[in-house]
Amino acid sequence: MSIEIHVPDIGNFSNVEVIEILVNVGDTVAIDDSLITLESDKAAMEIPAPRGGVVKAINIAIGDKVSEGTLILLLEDAGEASVNVASAPAQPKVSGGAAASVPVTVVTPTGLEEICVPDIGNFHDVDVIEVLVREGDVVDAETSLITLESDKAAMEIPSPKAGVVKQLKIAVGDKVSEGSLILVLEVAGASPEAAPVNAVAPVASASLTPAASAPAVDAESFRRAHASPSVRRIARELGIDLVKVAGTGAHGRITEADVRNFGKGGHAAVAQAPAAAKAAPAAAPANSMGIPLITQPDWTQFGAVETIPMSRIGKLSAKHLHRAWLNVPQVTHFDEADITELEAYRNSLKDKAKSMGFNFTPLVFMLKAVVAGLKEYPKFNSALADDGESLIQRKFYNVGIAVDTPDGLVVPVIKDVDRKGLFELARELGEVSKKARDGKLKAADMQGGCFTISSLGGIGGTNFTPIVNAPEVGILGLTRAQDRLKRVNGEIVDRLIQPLAVSYDHRVIDGAYAARFVSHIAFVLSDVRNLIL
């Protein structure tokens, strides 16, 4: 009896291109053997067989567009029962994109618990860049299990309980969201029973762990490579870095033959390029914005060099700041504030704050002054809507503080600054700065900012131009306050002057509005009593 095999639920994808057919007529397939590979603009996914049998006819071809329900092939039943219940179609194996929407039921024996990705804020389809445990590892509650990296933050996911890792369900390069299964944990103190033989396990991730004997391959390379999950698996088994392999498939896709030829040292994909193409000068590589990149010469011809990998935070910051610089037409306005009286008031309270367990820094007053400015000039507390034709006006006052850490710059957000007193803010600043330096910030700690302060006061400098932390529209840069002689009421007196530098998004804010905003901040800082106005 022939059985029709259709494309299962593949989430929100439709009209997805068939880029590989992995079986031939006459092939015998088993449950979960991959039949075809699909590729959308967001993900590559293999469609597995929901049952075993012999392929009698193939009803699609490479280049076809398919959606849920499209007929793939006819299968002659080999007497093997389906792994899925009738109402739950086979789950595609996804690489580099969102997971399919229909979950696979997992039967968990007593004593075993599924550990899933918790609430990570507004982040979705986040890259897994590190798996920090192995099967058999004993973990405590709060032990970090995996590290995730979005375009804005890197975050570690801790274990909610202590126990032994029985099964890993995730691999480097996978994309996860809240609820994604990380691993199965045998909870400490439990007495697990034998797992049922017919327990249904999740479909394996398309990112496979390389064999122990294979050389280590950079996971980041696999994320960038244009290859299907099956080709990635072969490359991992052979220990081949896909970035170094030229693809001969459609749209430059790397095929299995490309990988195997590269593994033999043939570099066939490159060797097969037409002679005319080899002779033509290579175009300068371009980034995602289409702007030609600046490439590096071979520095070794001039002397000794060393390649030092950037930290995760450094790589994240570089990408985010590059996007902000390319998208935001920013201008910086400079001004000064006389903080002589404010500094005297702060010094009078430093010892009291110290006795309470925290430092009383000038940044506390800057937070309050910024909020006063945001209230008086609300465009600085807005965001440009995606259509570019309206403003989203925030009614809350959350201020990000750029913190220098051993791994790079991070920006935790102090929430509801307008509702907190000076000492409360000082205590919170100390706590969040320590968390940042210790690498303990969570995703929620860095979300929801309306405006950012970047202070170099403890380091030095006379002024600088901070880059707007998009999608915010303004940022205040602070350098070290300077002692200056000024004429006040006809007398030359020594005053403490604080430089102010506010960069702003010129699509939202014009120069006059920005000048008034900065002037208002200077006014508030000039007399501590102005903070209560």
Residue 229: its pLDDT value, please?
A: 57
Name beta bridge partners: 93: 46
**DSSP letters along 20-80, please?**
EE---TT-EE-TT-EEEEEE-SS-EEEEEPSS-EEEEEE---TT-EE-TT-EEEEEEE-SP
**Euclidean distance between CA atoms 380 and 421, whole angstroms:** 22
Select from 2.40.50.100, 2.40.128.20, 3.20.20.450, 3.30.70.990 the CATH code of 2-95.
Answer: 2.40.50.100
Residue 226: its pLDDT value, please?
A: 66
**Euclidean distance between CA atoms 338 and 359, whole angstroms:** 22
Fold (topology level) of 315-532: Chloramphenicol Acetyltransferase (3.30.559)
Name beta bridge partners: 21: 36
The answer for residues whose C-beta is within 8 angstroms of residue 151's C-beta and 6 or more apart is 316, 319, 320, 323
Q: Output the tens digit of pLDDT for each of the chain's 533 residues.
A: 788 999 988 877 788 888 888 888 888 888 878 899 887 765 667 888 888 889 999 999 888 999 988 999 998 876 543 443 333 445 555 544 433 333 333 334 557 899 999 888 777 888 888 888 888 888 888 788 998 877 666 678 889 888 999 999 998 889 999 889 999 999 876 544 433 333 333 333 333 433 333 444 555 444 456 666 567 767 777 778 777 787 776 556 787 788 888 876 654 444 333 333 333 344 445 555 567 778 888 899 999 999 888 887 888 888 888 889 989 999 999 999 999 999 999 999 999 999 999 999 999 999 999 999 999 999 999 999 988 999 999 999 999 999 988 888 899 999 999 999 999 999 999 999 999 988 888 888 999 999 999 999 778 889 999 999 999 999 999 999 999 999 988 999 999 999 999 999 999 999 999 999 999 999 999 998 888 87
What are the structural domain ranges in the chain?
2-95, 112-187, 315-532
Q: Is the peptide bond before 471 cis (omega within 30 degrees of 0)?
A: yes
Indicate the SS3 state at residue 226. coil
- Beta strands (DSSP E) in 299-346 are 330-338
- Beta strands (DSSP E) in 296-376 are 330-338
Which amino acid type is present at position 515? A
Residue 493: its pLDDT value, please?
A: 94
Indicate the SS3 state at residue 492. strand
**Euclidean distance between CA atoms 518 and 228, whole angstroms:** 53
Residue 141: its pLDDT value, please?
A: 82
User: How many residues comprise the chain?
Assistant: 533
199: enclosing H helix or E strand: none
Name beta bridge partners: 488: 491
Look up residue 253 and give its DSSP letter.
P
Fold (topology level) of 112-187: OB fold (Dihydrolipoamide Acetyltransferase, E2P) (2.40.50)
Residue 84: its pLDDT value, please?
A: 39
Q: What are phi and psi of 42, to 5 degrees?
A: -120, -20
- Which candidate in 6, 267, 322, 506 is catalytic? 506
Answer yes or no: same fold for 2-95 and 315-532.
Answer: no
pTM value is 0.53
Residue 242: its pLDDT value, please?
A: 77
- Beta strands (DSSP E) in 236-302 are none
Residue 355: its pLDDT value, please?
A: 95
Q: Are 295 and 285 in contact (CB under 8 A)?
A: yes
267 catalytic? Reply is no
Which amino acid type is present at position 151? D
**Euclidean distance between CA atoms 338 and 496, whole angstroms:** 6
CB-facing half-sphere around the CA of 347: CA atoms within 13 A: 6
Rg (CA), the chain: 29
